Structure 1
């Protein structure tokens, strides 16, 4: 018996003949991902006077199929920042490995300093732009939330083209259409966000997650939420929308067999 790993799962040559792998050879051009396959939907984030709140549901969809219901799309970095990922899950995993390597390098640096949220956003935006310039983009849009070098709340976005911008409230995916109007009601500008309490910001973000669950077909009622302040990161990865049910539908006139 051949115990070499390269022979595992192959028919025995002495019985079935030599293994022919010629059909695997290709002389065509290198190909890159043309479109995302397994994707995560919205990430929403909001500044308040002491920090930033960011949330994302735990669903990864295979096309329109709600396939994976336990995919955490918030990633902490160096106890100072949280990165929220929307878009392709495999590219998210690549970026997660990249951030893990960077985090390890920073932790063992002799300088005694680490990247804050502003530095981290700049780094990731350059990664996105470089991959875009190579015609091999990372099919993600990310939100970086945390504190900048002056310990002030920081929130900014970057996408697969390397486009970046910042705002008191941000959202990716359908959240840009459904959640942003709700968040802008409580924080229309930086001045309003600087007066916003943690409780008010939490209520606005949770209400946005509720609306997304009802209105976005690619969302889930299980979600992760993180609060970043000077005291650190409070990350909860298995939150559930309370009292959310479609049971009200049978009370709507014209639903199902109801005729009156």
Structure 2
């Protein structure tokens, strides 16, 4: 068998003669068939978000993992768009960078003929849903899960999800990655149904998000204790907080565990 990446698994030329490459490249100018990324390499983990009566709170940590290696510790995965919207992205970092450039281009194009109307969360979500579904239909998906949050055209909180297949849904609390298993149960204790949103203030929503980020740091091996948090309200617009810490000296309890370090059991 051949072990060259472009000839992988083909019978040996010595046994069956030289492979006819013109068959594989019929109608193509390039030297080998077009290949698409089918597996994320550097990835970001959970994005979590919650609605409250005046807006939304969304958070994501700053880690880019190269497999199991915590390689990059300053990756920003929250992107404000317009005056009242934010996009949080998990998954492949290279595809995340591509999506962020699409959002920048969309914002620039919208500002060329500014008529007093800015991009809002529903417009951005609909655009991303079309992009993700289009790429999925080409069998070249963007390996990301995305949460779009902000205010809708009437000024009410908006929170919606879209993934690499173009699947979309809305809920008062959303999470991607391991956050869907570890953070959502905590957030749903605060806001379970849409009718509960009106009972929740900003401080309660922020505290729930901070608690979730701490739990994710402890329980998700691909997470970091440094994260970014964005709060969006009609009154204050987008408030972007960077470099937040889940908890100081997070592993201080380890010294009390028997068998840890130099302790004797």
TM range (shorter): 0.7 to 0.9
Deviates more, 1:123-132 or 1:189-198: 189-198
1:249 counterpart (240, 250, 254): 254
CA distance in 2 between counterparts of 1:109 and 1:65 reads: 45
Contact 1:147/1:229 (8 A) holds in 2: yes
Q: 2:239 corresponds to which residue? A: 234
Which blocks of at least 5 consecutive residues in structure 1 are unaligned?
1-24
Partner residue, 1:60: 64
* CA distances 1:211-247 after superposition (whole Å, capped 9, x unpaired): 0000000000110000000020000121112334212
- Per the normalisation by structure 2, the TM-score is 0.86
Moved more, 242-251 or 45-54: 242-251
Tell me the CA shift for residue 194 of structure 1: 1.9
Query: What is the CA–CA distance in structure 1 between the aligned matches of 2:103 and 2:126, rounded to whole Å?
Result: 13
Residue in 1 aligned with 2:157?
153
**Structure 1 segments of 4 or more deviating over 4 A?**
none
Please give the alpha-carbon distance, in whole angstroms, between the structure 2 residues aligned to 1:30 and 1:243.
48
Q: Distance in 2 between matches of 1:199 and 1:74?
A: 20
Tell me the residue number matched to 2:94. Answer: 90
Structure 2 unaligned blocks of 5 or more: 1-28
Structure 1 residue 110, shift from structure 2 partner: 4.7
> Hey, what does 1:259 align to over in structure 2?
264
Query: How many residues are paired up?
Result: 236
CA–CA distance in structure 1, aligned partners of residues 61 and 38 of structure 2: 25
Using structure 1 for the length normalisation, give the TM-score.
Answer: 0.88
- RMSD between aligned residues: 1.3
Would you say the 8 A contact 1:55–1:226 is kept in 2?
yes
Conserved 8 A contact 1:106-1:113? no
CA distance in 1, matches of 2:68, 2:37: 19
Change (3 A) 1:244 1:157: farther
Determine helix, strand or coil for the equivalent of 1:194: helix
